[in-house]
Structure 1
Amino acid sequence: MFPLSHPVLTCAESGCFEEKLLGGDENGILAAMKKAGQGVGLGILQDFQEIKPFPQNAKVLVLSGKGHNGGDALIAAHTILRQHPQVVVEVMFVFGKDDLKHLVQKAFDELNQAGKVTVLENVLCDTSYDVCIDGALGMAFHLPLKTAFVALLEKINQHPNILLRAAVDLPSGLGDESANIAFRADFTYATGIAKKPVFEEKNKQFVGRIRYLDIGFFQNSQPESEQNILLPGVLDKLRRLRDPQSYKRTYGHLFIVAGSRRMPGALLMAVKAAVHSGVGLVTVIAPDSVARNCAPHVPEAMWLPCPETSDGWFSVEGKAIILKTLSSASAVLIGPGIGREDETKQLFAQLVRDIKCPIVIDADALMPEIIDALAGGQLGIITPHLGEFNRIRQTADEAYSFEKLASYSKNNPLVTVLKGSITKVAYQGKVYLSPFGGPVLARGGSGDILSGLCGGLLAQQPSEALNAACQAVVLHGSAADAMARERGQTGISTTEIIPYLSKILHG
């Protein structure tokens, strides 16, 4: 297991783990509830920034059940109230207020003493809420759902005036066996243990974006799992002081073989990301006219013009020049903006047979004939989205499945970074899930920036492709989150993410 990740477990496995860890220790359960609830509250305040600054007089609706998820939700509301004392909180005990678990009653009493709290009998659709927090059901609910609760879920899901819907741990209605309807969250805050139902494709419509809240369950030990969730600590090595005796070659030399006259932007975005990755040297090999025109835009890189076709694509005549130059590379990135011309594909298929250093393959280089031409045992990273993943597997358009990705990674020495709303990093049959990033990345060029980061980080640690891929994915997603919280999701351009890379590492 990659050390900077935690296992993703079924609800049943999670219940057994928590029982062994906490048992009937009320103090331990209360401490876990407080960590979870406070984490959810602070997460909501942070993620709300993607909409607008959190209103001082916001209205928060809490859907509380009788169990500890309800307590987590109440503590989350209390955390928000501490930060913004003018907030109004409305609580609906969806299964009644009698027979609450002791710690849930305690959480409500403390919330009630802290500020403006009203207990509702029903939710009105003409009332506007800034936040709705779902703590109605935990992971151990029983089917079928009560008719009245199904009606409440339908009303909440269709409510036209809720800005942000947040689910505690997993949306009510989802579990190892899920109902046909569930709370439709914008954000799901997985508390303590990330549960498998949250990541299942069939549940995407209810889960929204996923945040994992580490509350210390795995400090001493953790079970093995084929699916794991990446932690922010993946980036810690990049935050350390560098050796005062180091120089540029200490941090690797990345060669980028990419671009075309028709798609110079993809090349430029990859190069700009690479020079912000911490790599010591970047050399760019591009078609002649592209190199000459792009070089002034990134003077930190060295630019080598290469023979091109009349239309500005790579020409096979450049093979010898490229291979001779690559002899000093720590890592190579190929693909961004190269196009799909037959001569270009022929060239890159020939190149990958002879490239000896670790390689990152992205975009138009993700072709079956190029992947199949790789030297046996080649180390490196491939960065497909789902369509490209199906293309290199030579399968029809298929939906994502964990089994297909895990199986592919078992039979491929390269680390696979499968890009998507939850980007997955797969290696040797294990899949690592990144909860970082969001819709702000759903624009052209995001993948080019990621490939540049993968290349730059791989050049600094050529024998650690899995580590480089995980660092690149977490850094890329975290920078996107930071930008969205400061600037929103819409009125930005792709390259504006690059200044946020240093903010994540130095913030």
Structure 2
Amino acid sequence: MLIVSAEEMRRLDNMAQQLGVPALLLMENAGRALADHAERLLAGLPFEGLTSCQAQAGDAVLPARLPKKQIAILAGPGQNGGDGFCAARHLAARGHEVKVGFFGKQAKLPEEAHMNYQMLASYPVEVYPVETMSPQEVLDALGHPDLIIDALLGIGGQGDPRSPMDMAIRWANSQDAPVVACDIPSGLSADTGYAYSPCIQADLTITMGFAKIGLLSYPGRMYTGHLIVEKLSFPPGMVVDYHREGGQTQAGLPSQAQADGPITILAKAATMEQAARLMPVRRGDHHKGVSGHVVVVAGCVGMAGAGVLAAKSALRAGAGTVTLICPGGAYNACAGAVPEVMVVPCGESGVFCPSKDCIEVVRTNLERAAAVVLGPGWGRGDFQTQFLKEILPIASKKTCVIDADALFALRQLGGFSYLAGLQGNFILTPHPGEMSVLTGLSTGQIQKDRPGYARQGAHESNSVVCLKGAGTCTAGPSGQLCVNTSGGPYMATAGSGDVLTGVIAALAAQGLPPYESAWLGVFWHGLAGEAAFRRKGAYGILAGDIIECLPEARALIGAPETN
């Protein structure tokens, strides 16, 4: 599913109007969609196939005529307010008692919104404007509605909502009534998913045209509720899906906005359909050599399990063969853990050392590898940093997944720019704390713009970056972005990230490019977590449980496993 930034959505709106679709018609479609889905919510009709904030197409099937309901619409000073006025007309025409709290000035409304405001005079709609009443008087007049529609602020909102909008948002959140957000919950950043204070807590969001990045990226996803995308009859051919077109625009290079013709959209949310198209398929004459060889360079004394988890998950994700290279001191702990994994000791120490013998062990084993994992369970210190410096040029010739302690060592070597200079096929999988080390920013800053910092890291490192966490953001060096939609908080357990590195490496070994290996690995890993949740419940899931559920999750994706 394509997702767009606020600026891209503005360009698409303008393009539709240039193609002959009047803004007033787009507003009418948006207002009617709001009214339709509000009635569905009031009727208790299910949003089929939806979990919270997974997207569903529009075209609501309307319920039989509802008994009269009290509906409050909070309208702001922009086009979102116009959508709310339009929804008020439709709902009043269907027999509902509609009250509108208008938190703006009539004279400053955009043309289309002003026209819809004036039309309300012909309908049984009570309008309470802050121009003639205090904000508190407006809110008191709205009473205790059965449903609230938030049409206060649109995709252009930045910063904490100011008075009187903040009062309206707090009032809506305090009511014992479901809230339907128009396009985006007021107070939420459309580009980052950051929730300003206060922010509407919606039960349902009807987003117009295309889903916005901030609706899928955390913490925005927690404020969005169920998400429905209404296309509003936008003309076809306005966008080019970078992912579907193989990463090439008409000019041959990725571009968010070409001067002429459709806009190339570089961001998406992961879906089953997209995953099924990419998932490796085995022919009838398949053998293990076709599925590639993964080398996992991981572990140390006390953290041998990290390497074992990464190696085992690579096998479960379809790699033909897997070699685990571990420090000699951790060999006994690793050797018998997974019989199907070949375990090779590297030196005699309890940690990886930059000795010639150790480097030669890595070099020799990487000769036949299709993908390599570096970092899980290494520990941190000068030995590990120098070891990484020696083996990175060797690993750069393969698709190389860098995780955990190797990310800390990378920072000591120069971070993103150092990696860019090696010109390899690297995939970095930092969690926010590791991203903080790589960027020098606080985790709080990073969490305010997860999509943006993932993209920035990918650009600076000329690599793929998976910024892990709720709604993992996978970014490519040309601006690609995929926000993950699978998994949940029950996956927050030791070793879960090690499992992910193995899955990504296995997909790369089976022939997928780095960016596709990364986002598909994240999505598959999340589905396996969901399967483990169904088996074990929300608490106590182990990383090994996620590994064991990878085949089950693979079956859910739907692509044929053999051909």
What TM-score, normalized to structure 2?
A: 0.65
Indicate which of 330, 342, 361 corresponds to 1:302: 342
Within a 5 Å distance, the mapping from 1:152-231 to structure 2 comes to: 153-158=169-174, 169-174=183-188, 181-185=198-202, 192-196=209-213, 198=215, 204=219, 207-208=222-223, 220-222=237-239, 223-225=263-265, 227-231=267-271
2:10 maps to 12
Offset of 1:336 from its aligned partner?
Answer: 0.4
Q: 1:289 to 1:105 in 2, by over 3 A?
A: farther
Offset of 1:430 from its aligned partner?
Answer: 0.8
Structure 2 counterpart of 1:454, which letter?
Answer: I
Distance (Å, rounded) in 2 between the aligned partners of 1:445 and 1:209: 30
Within a 5 Å distance, the mapping from 1:340-489 to structure 2 comes to: 340-355=380-395, 356-366=397-407, 367=409, 368-369=411-412, 372=418, 376-393=422-439, 399-400=445-446, 401=449, 405-436=454-485, 437-461=487-511, 464-481=513-530, 483-484=532-533, 488-489=537-538
Distance (Å, rounded) in 2 between the aligned partners of 1:186 and 1:447: 31
1:275 maps to 315
Whether 2:90 is the aligned partner of 1:93: answer no
Per mean C-alpha deviation after superposition, the further-off stretch among 246-255 and 477-486 is 477-486
Q: Is the 8 A contact 2:297 2:373 kept in 1?
A: yes
Distance (Å, rounded) in 1 between the aligned partners of 2:284 and 2:507: 20
Distance (Å, rounded) in 2 between the aligned partners of 1:209 and 1:299: 46
2:352 maps to 314
SS in structure 2 at match of 1:430: coil
Whether 2:51 is the aligned partner of 1:47: answer yes
Offset of 1:224 from its aligned partner?
Answer: 2.7
Offset of 1:153 from its aligned partner?
Answer: 3.5
Offset of 1:95 from its aligned partner?
Answer: 5.3
2:303 maps to 263
Structure 1: runs of 5+ lacking an equivalent: 50-71, 82-87, 110-119, 125-131
Per mean C-alpha deviation after superposition, the further-off stretch among 299-308 and 446-455 is 299-308
Q: 1:291 to 1:428 in 2, by over 3 A?
A: same
Q: Is the 8 A contact 1:256 1:284 kept in 2?
A: yes
Offset of 1:299 from its aligned partner?
Answer: 2.4
SS in structure 2 at match of 1:339: coil
Distance (Å, rounded) in 1 between the aligned partners of 2:2 and 2:155: 28
Q: 1:123 to 1:298 in 2, by over 3 A?
A: farther
Structure 1 counterpart of 2:405, which letter?
Answer: D
Structure 1 counterpart of 2:150, which letter?
Answer: A
Q: Is the 8 A contact 1:440 1:490 kept in 2?
A: yes
Structure 1 counterpart of 2:477, which letter?
Answer: Q
Distance (Å, rounded) in 2 between the aligned partners of 1:29 and 1:170: 13
Q: Tell which has more relative contact order, 1 or 2 (C-alpha 8 A, sep 6+).
A: 1
Offset of 1:187 from its aligned partner?
Answer: 8.0
Q: Is the 8 A contact 2:309 2:499 kept in 1?
A: yes
**Number of paired residues?**
451
Per mean C-alpha deviation after superposition, the further-off stretch among 273-282 and 358-367 is 273-282
Distance (Å, rounded) in 2 between the aligned partners of 1:44 and 1:89: 25
Offset of 1:340 from its aligned partner?
Answer: 0.8
SS in structure 2 at match of 1:224: strand
Offset of 1:191 from its aligned partner?
Answer: 6.0
Deviations 1:154-198 (A, max 9, x none): 245357x89x98856421344779985321358867565122554
Offset of 1:468 from its aligned partner?
Answer: 0.8
SS in structure 1 at match of 2:169: helix
Q: Is the 8 A contact 1:186 1:207 kept in 2?
A: no
Q: Is the 8 A contact 1:269 1:495 kept in 2?
A: yes
Deviations 1:233-266 (A, max 9, x none): 3311355742212211111111101011211232
Structure 2 counterpart of 1:270, which letter?
Answer: A
Structure 2 counterpart of 1:384, which letter?
Answer: P
Offset of 1:382 from its aligned partner?
Answer: 1.0
Q: 1:238 to 1:100 in 2, by over 3 A?
A: closer
Q: 1:495 to 1:141 in 2, by over 3 A?
A: closer
Q: 1:305 to 1:207 in 2, by over 3 A?
A: same
Q: 1:435 to 1:241 in 2, by over 3 A?
A: closer
Deviations 1:71-127 (A, max 9, x none): x89x69x78x9xxxxxx9976434599974555468888xxxxxxxxxx96449xxx
Per mean C-alpha deviation after superposition, the further-off stretch among 19-28 and 323-332 is 19-28
Distance (Å, rounded) in 2 between the aligned partners of 1:486 and 1:31: 42
Q: Is the 8 A contact 1:8 1:193 kept in 2?
A: no
Offset of 1:404 from its aligned partner?
Answer: 5.0
SS in structure 1 at match of 2:422: coil
Q: 1:142 to 1:458 in 2, by over 3 A?
A: closer
Highest CA radius of gyration, 1 or 2? 2
CA RMSD of the aligned region, Å? 4.8
Q: Is the 8 A contact 2:203 2:226 kept in 1?
A: no
Offset of 1:413 from its aligned partner?
Answer: 2.6
Structure 2 counterpart of 1:268, which letter?
Answer: V
SS in structure 1 at match of 2:264: coil
SS in structure 2 at match of 1:498: helix
Offset of 1:269 from its aligned partner?
Answer: 2.3
What TM-score, normalized to structure 1?
A: 0.71
